[in-house]
Structure 1
Amino acid sequence: MDISKYAVKNYQFTLIMVIMVIVIGASTILNMPRAEDPETRPPVFPVVAIYPGTSPKDMEELVVKPLEKRIYDLDNIKTIKTNIINGVAVLAVEYKYGSNVDDKYQELVRETNAIRNLLPADLYSLEVQKVDPTNVNILQIALVSENASRAQMKKVAEGLQDELEKIMALKEVKVAGLSDQLVRVDVAPDKLAKLGIPMSTLMQAIQSEAANIPGGSVVTGGKSLSVKTSGNYQSIEEIKNTIVYSNSGKNVLLSDVAAVYPDFAPETHITRLNHFRSVVVTAAQKPGENISKTQKAYLPVIEAYKKTLPANIGLIVNFDQAENVNSRLGGLGEDFGIAILLVLITLLPLGTRASAVVMIAIPLSLSIGIVLINALGFSLNQLSIVGFVVALGLLVDDSIVVVENIERWMREGYSRLDATLKGTRQIMLAVIGCTATLIIAFMPIMFMPEMSGDFIRSLPIAVISSVLGSMVVALTVVPFLSSRILKPHENAEGNAVLRALQRGIHGTYAVLLDKAIKKPWLTILVAVAIFGGALALMPVVGFSLFPASEKPQFMIDITSPLQANIQYTDSITRQIERQLDTMKVVHYYSSNVGKGNPQIYYNVQQRNESEDFAEIFVQLQPNTRPDEKTEIIEKLRKRWTPYPGAKVEVKNFEQGVPVIAPVEVRLMGENLDTLNRLARQGEGLLLKTQGTMYVNNPLKNNKTDLRVRINTQKALAMGVPTVNIDRTVRMALAGADLATFTDPTSTDNDYLIRISVPRPSHPDITVFNDLYVDNVQNKPVPLSQLATLELESSAAQVNHYNKIRTVSVSAYVQHGFLNDKVINDVIHQMDQIKFPAGYSYAMGGEVESRQQSFAGFGTIILITVFLFIAVLVLEFKTFKSTLIVLSVIPLGVVGAVLALLFTGNTLSFVATIGIVALAGIEVKNTILLVDFTNQLRREGLGLNEAIEKAGEIRFLPIILTTLTAIGGLTPIALSSNPLIAPLAIVMIGGLISSTLLSRIVTPVIYKLMPPEIA
């Protein structure tokens, strides 16, 4: 069936379909999910084991090795990266990409639970977590006060938490910067010893009284009644009156041997906003929600809650991702409008009516694309929108070609209806072939593997769906409108703009083409030389994986000397804050001492608690340009490197797959001393490599531990099990949480009952004085009779990579240096090191990320090339025509490389994608030229005459389609987003070079190897 003829003859049906598509498209774009970034679901699960007071070596032997052995035997495990520090081990378990995330999570939970009985009985916690990018907080609120009590701050924060949790679109509403509320039980060991009461007896008494044991049920009066007995303390007074021991009719109460009082746990995470004390409330958005609609739901709630706050507490929304998304979508909307205007300008040669017909293709094609992408489960995000903007310059191509061909037939004297049917029929196969090549060009991007593929996939899907829509529109709606709207030009040669272009083409292009055809081999030689020169410039351009984010925000990481306490780290953080206060460009800064800032960026996880670490999330004024932000970061880096008493690192947010650092040398072996020596060698190598900064060697400094050296002979003689000593020491230092106390008279009613000995919030060595340990007869024995205290040096952390001990020495790359060059310099130097037997190195960081991002990409490209060839052979029925069309691809690379060089960009992941996509556009344009040349030869024209006439006639539609593509891409190329701008830059550069060069080179190649014409 001739679909174009059907659309023209049944115009009423066509009109209804047009209206339906526009209405459905408009409805879809208003209601489809919106987010800043595409959703990805990496099968990565941190297994976190907490065992307070345990050294890294002990943690490795007691906890990590059994866990790794069990997990490593599971199917589809890709890597296990383990980081072990004092008392904490994190096993980052990564399955092969594509594994079912939910199934693998359940499997990992099941396996860790199964091995729990093989781990130490007093292991504090073992938890399997999910790395869910949708858990990125879209909202960060600071409750600020310098004089409110901790109890008051807790009440206000949890009240806001409750209000936000009522909003269906939000999840993971959390409070940070508050310690747990406790009922502290400070036991006097000397009193217990004097009364002969074992510590275990006291602990059991509290746990028994706090337990809520159901009493069952009874039936009375036809009703079943639940029986409630004791359990659940009702007040602190009840806790004090707990009977812990009874002898000769005399009861010993808890208050007789311990101080019982409400308190807060020691601060492990201090939070401030712009140097003011604060508590932080954060919230993430559920998958599939529209962030703009979500914002409309939570802003009124926040404003209403703000009005209920006491005068001494302020509320500041210091991070709202919806503002970023709305701003970005608004910016892309402006780019979209500019692109449409530029496209409209390029259509002037067609005339007003023809331009109107072509422009109608834009909303129709985009509506089809939006409906399709929504049906496939993708959201409206920065990458899908870029896909639509890229498509904008392509989706009018088919319509331009069809309309221009219809008008050419009208200029030759045919009626409007006949010209429409004949012109569309003549070009139909070429249009279908062009669309097929465009789709094939974007297919490698669509099928990219790993997380990078998931991240980028919405872009090619948006392009492909829109281009498919444009083909349907060009072959149905455009002929229908042309048959009703177009009219012959008053001048047979077209309007003034068209006549001027035709004169220019005939006066310049025709002359140049004639000369090139007369000297074909010289033309080919010049083209090859130009292509070779472009390839030679590739090392100068350089390669990088992903660029930095353009958002006006960055992080400051502060690392105090190893084992520094939180008070020292806080003092350094306050020094940095005072300097930030003097910078007018700084809008907000959120300080986090002892822990990382809550996650607000898709590839930056929150750092775990550590007293010697602090992080400041800095937000600049919203109108700060990316180049201004880069300048500020560089100034701060110079100012704070080195920094007295701490290491201060200013880090920009990076796009793409998260890495430790761009440069990472992973050293592997078993002996820690040997690894330490190799790590120092690697550290020195990185320090002297030009272009590196923030060099990190985790084994640079050993930590000092206080070892409780148990005299096992004495312990055995006195009947004291070693585990009792361990538990007593832990209870004295960290305390032991025995139960939960619920106060029914208070709204802030949840308390942990924590037992310990009297000590400051941060205990010192004197805590060991007067400690007693129960023996097997439940008699207290002084700890001093069983053990001595010794200082010992040990590794601050131990890392594993797939069960092998590993040290990762890493570095960042200075601004102005190419990542690729610095990494290659490091690899060259590492290759010179002679490693002992059993030791080796591997590159992580950007090298590993690049390998993962492009894994299988070569195979996909190869398949794409064969698909190109298959489509072209199917269309032309000859290999020569196919080779002629494909010969245009290298000519686009020339402009792409030069465009990157002149704009100061590197060949990034996204730029590489742009070059692949460029091939489809180049091939599409060349198909029009070769197909028409073949048609003219079939009509009886000679080879040279057919080449020259086809070159002149097809020059205009090719130029117009190229200009519309460039017009659509220009706003993206000029945008401040470094993730997507290189894609547009390489495509614009490639389109310019391929259009100019191929209009000469392609006809020459055609002359040298003319296809056979059936």
Structure 2
Amino acid sequence: MKKLYEILLGRSLLFIILIFTVSILGVYTFLTIEQREIPETEVNLVNVTTAWPGADKSDMETNVTNIIESELFNVEDIEDVSSVSQDDISVITLQLSDDGNPDDVLNDVNNVVSGIASDLPENAAEPEVESLSNNFPLLSYQVHSEDVQNLDGIRDDLEKLEQEVTQMDGVDSVTLKGYEDYKYEIQLDWDALAENQLNPNEIMNEIEQSLNPVILGQDTEDDETVRLSFQDQKPLEVLEQVRVGTDDIPLDEVAEVSEVHEQPEDIVEYEGEPAVSFTVFLAAGEDVPSVSRKVESIMDDSFEGLSDNITVDNISSERENVEDIFVGLYISLAIALLAVIVGTSLGLSWFGSITVMITVFLSVLIGLAPIPWMGVDLNQISVIGLIIALGILVDDSIVVNDNIERRFTVGDNKLDAVYNGVREVAPSVIASTLAIVFTFSPLLLLSGANGDFIKALPSILISTMIVSTVLALTFVPAVRYLIVRKKAPKHPGIIGKAFTWGSNVYADKLLPKIIKRPLLAFLTVLIIAVLSVGLIRFTPFEFFPEADRSEVTVDLIFEEGQTIEKTHEDAQDVLSYMLGEMEHVESASLFTGDGLPNLFGASLEQSGPNTAQIALQIDKEQMSASETIDEYENAVREAFPKATVFMETIIQGPPASAPITVEIFEDDLETLNNKVTDLTETLEADGAIVTSNIGSPVRTMNYSIDYGALEENDVSVSQVKNELNMISEGIPIQEIIVDGDSRETNLKYSDEYTIDNVDIVKTGEGEPETYPLSDFVNIEETEDTTSIQHSNGERTAELQVYSDDEETVNRTIEEFSSNLDETTELTVGGESSDQADFFIEIGILFSVILVLVYLVIAIEFNSVVMPLITVFSIFLAFSGGIIGLFVTQTPISFLGIMGMVSLSGIVVRNAVVLIDFIEARRKAGRFDIYQAIFESGRVRFKPIALTTLTSILALVPVALSGDVLFEPLAVTVIAGLAFSTILSLIATPALYYLYYRVRYRK
């Protein structure tokens, strides 16, 4: 080993140049890596959608959903299968397992669906398979005007802009909301048809024939190929020439071609004016600022040409959010870097401090190089990871540098000082680094959205820690060998004398007292730590905090079956009330129907004509988003009791489910609906707010054919079905193209004709016979839900429950569950359950972490007992973290828990190096056990105190930044480090001495 070091040290300058050259990769990575506000999370979902016009939900379930589901269960790497069967459509959603390959699963699903397409009903469309992407809103504009006709006038321009932006690199898709689509209806006059003895089928066939293209192909004249083409009139002009029946009756004598509005999916309003929402979504793995600037340039140029009566407002810019956040984070990073410089200079010589800082800086840069290949981008979590890394990385360099300086002080020559200085601390440095790597590695296995959210933190720390250790053992000695100071300072550092004084006090006064009564010292520390853990009961809890943002969203759910126009009127009333009560609202958007285009973290579980969302921009200086919700949510609910109202703001974390979800499994639909109704009413009686994925029952008119009457009158069932189609939605025919826009077209009777004034016409040899359509159709008015839900093939319904008294809700659900029949199954989940699952998972991972740390230290010391001494410092850090959160009343949160886990690897370093020094001196034989402990304390006090102080200084800016997401992590690590360092300086030597006495019977 010494020979290798001689070779390395002999080429110190070349090695240093090599390290600086490699660091350029880190600089390039930092400048080019994608920037985002929050980590990108994968959405491993695949949808299989099948349309079957005219089918009701039961037929759709039996003949489409069940058939496709049964085959999809055989596809590997699918974790969950859910479906919804509604009138006319079936949607099956597949959730992939975390270790599944999305491309492979998508290919397998396509193969399965293609193979069973022939088993589906003849009139059903071919199933469409689509992989759902995690669309991230990049920019959103509201284009608004006093007159909706002004917006209609720029529709073509916006649709062309939509196509242009969609094709840009880095853009996933564009959503244009607020425009109504049009279709053509050919409305037949039933009386005119009867008078002229015509039927709808004749007219439909004639229209289809008239609109069909003419295929002429090509001709040959005198060995020359002649291209043949046909120039037709516009479709509407063609329809004017259509003649029907044997008497060639003009179509316009028996029908009217009308342009009508389709049922709108959205109605958008901004600041009380009709609006169109234009939202751009970022593609996966793209950089927010660079893509946003390119899109903004195109958008600005396009909007400049709009008339003065149209206004465009940007209501959401992810680039601005990212830049604002990163400015704050970079300031914290710069302050942390400055704090580390100051911290190291307190106890190291200027030369030593500069060496350590250069090493830390290079560790960060080189450690960043592999980050993109680990699936990590530059976001809030990764930058915080860098700040934490700065505080940890100094440890290796400080320990190595300090020990090299110590060897110079005792008189070693240049080579021996460097070599011996590294050799003495290398085992403990490597072991403690492995402990940190093993601490953070299990966090990469954290499942689901929580795992995706936190992945950047362990990735950054693992990468930079490995590089830091390598550089501490190679780069630091190379620098110290290349540049040797003639005389090592006796008390290096700005407060070097204070550290020397502290080392002497610790070694000469405190340690003798600890060793004199080791059991008492240990029990005192243990009691303090145990009592500190009890403070967790008096510490607030908040899994993911609300962001300090100016957006508040309001979800509105009205009565099932309500038209979108009625919902929009009701939502306008709610908005007017809120604007009158809330003086700090700066602007407001209203989206009726499908709701917001995934803006501000808001989404509707079940959207439709009866739902709406309001997006409020508030002046958070007057009142924060959370204060706004607390003050006004109940007031709005009381003012509009017929609406289900939820006010929310952006949460700094993965999307959360309802606090409590209840899933009821029952094969019989009527029983299932009854159970849902009973439980909903029971929970609402307790004051809870309940929504359901199947919705509440709506007024339903059930039509059925009297087959006995058909047989009696010798009328075909097809005639009855055709007439029912004609008086309702009509029969689709060829689309009509107008000004390049393809519009749906259907054939139906005029609205004046109903089941009561339409007859079945039966032709024969004599005069046609007519029978009232109502003679063959039975109508029954009932109430029914609009969909049938499946979970893994079983019929189910899910309730989302919101209540301030979750204990009462859970008790009510438990009582309800105990009275269910054997055929009905009930399961409880939700955000509370998800959090419980997270704590179980993190508990398992933490156990794995403890085992891995234990094994590393056990191998280092070749002992099965000694690792327990170092692992005790983890408990001390945990206790200290709780004290910090309690004193500052900072909520225990997801990142607070991550701080606890982070401490597990950080704090064992001090104990490992301290015990390693004691063992080395004891085994050398030059010291008895007391001298070994005292001298090790003298040597290790300054590095331990210095690294702890430096780590704390690096995190203080984050703790004081007011960032509600990262404050719990910073507070936890700062308090845990301080508490553990102080008490482990007492507990570690006491435990070691007790171990020594038992082990060697002395």
- Give yes or no for TM over 0.5: yes
Q: CA deviation at 1:892?
A: 1.2
Within 5 A, what are the aligned runs for 1:84-123?
Answer: 84=85, 89-123=90-124
Q: 1:513-536 CA distances to partner (integer Å, 9 max, x unpaired)?
A: 332322222223233333433444
Structure 2 residue 345 is the aligned partner of structure 1 residue 345: no
Q: Is the CA contact (8 Å cut-off) linking 1:148 and 1:312 kept in structure 2? A: no
Match of 2:471 among 463, 470, 473: 473
Structure 2 residue 826 is the aligned partner of structure 1 residue 841: yes
Structure 1 CA distance for aligned equivalents of residues 770 and 96 of structure 2: 50
Structure 2 CA distance for aligned equivalents of residues 136 and 635 of structure 1: 30
Structure 1 CA distance for aligned equivalents of residues 506 and 859 of structure 2: 35
Match of 2:458 among 448, 457, 460: 460
Within 5 A, what are the aligned runs for 1:245-284?
Answer: 245-247=244-246, 250-284=247-281
Q: 1:600-619 CA distances to partner (integer Å, 9 max, x unpaired)?
A: 367x6566652111112334
Taking a change above 3 Å as real, the CA distance of residues 246 and 672 of structure 1, as seen in their structure-2 partners, is closer
Structure 2 residue 42 is the aligned partner of structure 1 residue 41: yes
Q: CA deviation at 1:200?
A: 2.5
Structure 2 residue 790 is the aligned partner of structure 1 residue 800: yes
Partner in structure 1 of residue 391 of structure 2: 393
Structure 2 residue 589 is the aligned partner of structure 1 residue 590: yes
Q: 1:245-302 CA distances to partner (integer Å, 9 max, x unpaired)?
A: 241xx32333232222444423331011232211112222222221111112111111
Q: CA deviation at 1:439?
A: 0.6
Structure 2 CA distance for aligned equivalents of residues 467 and 387 of structure 1: 11
Partner in structure 1 of residue 626 of structure 2: 630
Q: 1:906-929 CA distances to partner (integer Å, 9 max, x unpaired)?
A: 544433333222111111221111
Structure 1 CA distance for aligned equivalents of residues 497 and 303 of structure 2: 67
Q: Is the CA contact (8 Å cut-off) linking 2:36 and 2:379 kept in structure 1? A: yes
Partner in structure 2 of residue 740 of structure 1: 735
SS of equivalent to 2:495:
helix
Q: Is the CA contact (8 Å cut-off) linking 2:376 and 2:455 kept in structure 1? A: no
Q: Is the CA contact (8 Å cut-off) linking 2:77 and 2:105 kept in structure 1? A: no
Q: CA deviation at 1:360?
A: 1.2
Partner in structure 2 of residue 615 of structure 1: 613
SS of equivalent to 2:276:
strand
Taking a change above 3 Å as real, the CA distance of residues 164 and 119 of structure 1, as seen in their structure-2 partners, is same
Q: Is the CA contact (8 Å cut-off) linking 1:548 and 1:654 kept in structure 2? A: yes
Q: Which runs of 5 or more structure 2 residues have no equivalent in the other structure?
A: none
Q: 1:878-901 CA distances to partner (integer Å, 9 max, x unpaired)?
A: 233322222222111111223333
Taking a change above 3 Å as real, the CA distance of residues 139 and 495 of structure 1, as seen in their structure-2 partners, is closer
Structure 2 residue 235 is the aligned partner of structure 1 residue 242: no
The aligned amino acid for 2:136 is V
Taking a change above 3 Å as real, the CA distance of residues 205 and 537 of structure 1, as seen in their structure-2 partners, is farther
Within 5 A, what are the aligned runs for 1:637-648?
Answer: 637-642=633-638, 643-648=640-645
Structure 1 CA distance for aligned equivalents of residues 588 and 168 of structure 2: 27
Partner in structure 2 of residue 315 of structure 1: 312
Structure 2 residue 975 is the aligned partner of structure 1 residue 985: no
Q: Is the CA contact (8 Å cut-off) linking 1:332 and 1:385 kept in structure 2? A: yes
Q: CA deviation at 1:327?
A: 1.8
Of stretches 298-307 and 795-804 in structure 1, the one that deviates more from structure 2 is 795-804
Of stretches 642-651 and 591-600 in structure 1, the one that deviates more from structure 2 is 642-651
Of stretches 6-15 and 25-34 in structure 1, the one that deviates more from structure 2 is 6-15
Taking a change above 3 Å as real, the CA distance of residues 204 and 97 of structure 1, as seen in their structure-2 partners, is farther
Of stretches 648-657 and 318-327 in structure 1, the one that deviates more from structure 2 is 648-657
The aligned amino acid for 2:71 is R
Structure 2 CA distance for aligned equivalents of residues 235 and 508 of structure 1: 96
Match of 2:744 among 752, 755, 763: 752
Partner in structure 2 of residue 362 of structure 1: 360
The aligned amino acid for 1:925 is N
Q: Is the CA contact (8 Å cut-off) linking 1:449 and 1:855 kept in structure 2? A: no
Q: Is the CA contact (8 Å cut-off) linking 1:233 and 1:741 kept in structure 2? A: no
Q: Is the CA contact (8 Å cut-off) linking 1:187 and 1:757 kept in structure 2? A: yes
Structure 2 residue 436 is the aligned partner of structure 1 residue 434: no
Q: Is the CA contact (8 Å cut-off) linking 1:546 and 1:979 kept in structure 2? A: yes
Structure 2 residue 914 is the aligned partner of structure 1 residue 929: yes
* TM-score normalised by L of structure 2: 0.90
Q: Is the CA contact (8 Å cut-off) linking 2:12 and 2:482 kept in structure 1? A: no
Within 5 A, what are the aligned runs for 1:443-592?
Answer: 443-484=441-482, 487=485, 492-507=490-505, 511-538=509-536, 540-541=538-539, 545-582=543-580, 583=582, 585-592=584-591
Taking a change above 3 Å as real, the CA distance of residues 262 and 808 of structure 1, as seen in their structure-2 partners, is closer
Q: CA deviation at 1:848?
A: 5.1
Q: 1:162-213 CA distances to partner (integer Å, 9 max, x unpaired)?
A: 3313422212123221122333322223322332322233233333443447
The aligned amino acid for 1:757 is Y
SS of equivalent to 1:394:
helix
Taking a change above 3 Å as real, the CA distance of residues 608 and 734 of structure 1, as seen in their structure-2 partners, is farther
Taking a change above 3 Å as real, the CA distance of residues 699 and 162 of structure 1, as seen in their structure-2 partners, is closer
Taking a change above 3 Å as real, the CA distance of residues 357 and 695 of structure 1, as seen in their structure-2 partners, is same
* TM-score normalised by L of structure 1: 0.89
Q: Is the CA contact (8 Å cut-off) linking 1:774 and 1:780 kept in structure 2? A: yes
Structure 2 CA distance for aligned equivalents of residues 412 and 724 of structure 1: 108
Structure 1 CA distance for aligned equivalents of residues 660 and 507 of structure 2: 50
Structure 2 residue 13 is the aligned partner of structure 1 residue 12: yes
Taking a change above 3 Å as real, the CA distance of residues 535 and 800 of structure 1, as seen in their structure-2 partners, is farther
Structure 2 CA distance for aligned equivalents of residues 855 and 42 of structure 1: 23
Structure 1 CA distance for aligned equivalents of residues 732 and 627 of structure 2: 50
Q: RMSD across aligned C-alpha pairs, in angstroms? A: 3.4
Q: CA deviation at 1:1004?
A: 0.4
Partner in structure 2 of residue 139 of structure 1: 139
Partner in structure 2 of residue 762 of structure 1: none
Structure 2 CA distance for aligned equivalents of residues 516 and 827 of structure 1: 56
The aligned amino acid for 1:368 is I
Q: CA deviation at 1:415?
A: 5.3
Structure 1 CA distance for aligned equivalents of residues 21 and 763 of structure 2: 83
SS of equivalent to 1:346:
helix
Structure 1 CA distance for aligned equivalents of residues 928 and 220 of structure 2: 106
Structure 2 CA distance for aligned equivalents of residues 208 and 609 of structure 1: 40
The aligned amino acid for 2:854 is I
Partner in structure 2 of residue 325 of structure 1: 322
Partner in structure 1 of residue 31 of structure 2: 30
Q: 1:410-458 CA distances to partner (integer Å, 9 max, x unpaired)?
A: 3334456653333223222222222111111101101223443233222
Q: 1:322-345 CA distances to partner (integer Å, 9 max, x unpaired)?
A: 222222222211121121122223
Structure 2 CA distance for aligned equivalents of residues 974 and 736 of structure 1: 67
Of stretches 190-199 and 389-398 in structure 1, the one that deviates more from structure 2 is 190-199
Taking a change above 3 Å as real, the CA distance of residues 698 and 989 of structure 1, as seen in their structure-2 partners, is same
The aligned amino acid for 1:948 is F
Q: CA deviation at 1:393?
A: 1.3
Structure 2 CA distance for aligned equivalents of residues 866 and 219 of structure 1: 86
Within 5 A, what are the aligned runs for 1:900-979?
Answer: 900-939=885-924, 940-979=926-965
Of stretches 281-290 and 416-425 in structure 1, the one that deviates more from structure 2 is 416-425
Q: Is the CA contact (8 Å cut-off) linking 2:20 and 2:362 kept in structure 1? A: no
Structure 2 CA distance for aligned equivalents of residues 198 and 789 of structure 1: 25
Taking a change above 3 Å as real, the CA distance of residues 864 and 608 of structure 1, as seen in their structure-2 partners, is closer
The aligned amino acid for 1:18 is I
The aligned amino acid for 1:647 is T
SS of equivalent to 1:35:
coil
Q: Is the CA contact (8 Å cut-off) linking 1:446 and 1:453 kept in structure 2? A: yes
Structure 1 CA distance for aligned equivalents of residues 479 and 842 of structure 2: 42
Taking a change above 3 Å as real, the CA distance of residues 29 and 273 of structure 1, as seen in their structure-2 partners, is same
